[in-house]
Amino acid sequence: MACNNNYRQREWRITGNLSVRGEELMRLPSAELISHLLDIDADFFGREYPPGTGKRIADNVYLYPGMGNKPLIELVNRVFVPAGVVDQATAILKALANPPLVVSIDDIKV
């Protein structure tokens, strides 16, 4: 799978593990996903973390796949990306039943 390394996600505003009616919403990655993460960026996801444990970052990430039958991306209202990739992100998200609005980070007023 080709990877565009021009843009890397820098921040998420999602809380830690949540549970709804006693069911935890986050989970550890499958072996297949760990392999995929290492294919994307082995330098980052292959680093040992926590130090001295022999585990890699990819082994310890928690996933928030979504809630109920909705994947996480379908629960999102807006996606902020660099101005140069707004059209590309919009095209990718267009495949969703209810795609979120794609906004350039340059349009954010602080």
Distance CA 28, CA 14 (A): 16
pTM of the full structure: 0.55
Closest CA to 108 of 83, 85, 91: 83
DSSP the chain: ----TT---------S--EETTEE--BPPPHHHHHHHHHH-HHHHTSBSSTTS--BHHHH--B--EETTEEGGGG-SEEEE-GGGHHHHHHHHTTSSSPPEEEEGGG---
Look up residue 98 and give its two tokens.
């209810």
pLDDT tens, the chain, 110 aa long: 445 545 555 555 556 677 788 878 888 899 999 999 999 999 999 999 989 999 999 998 888 887 778 888 888 899 999 999 999 999 999 999 889 999 998 887 76
**Confidence (pLDDT) at 13:** 59
**Confidence (pLDDT) at 110:** 64
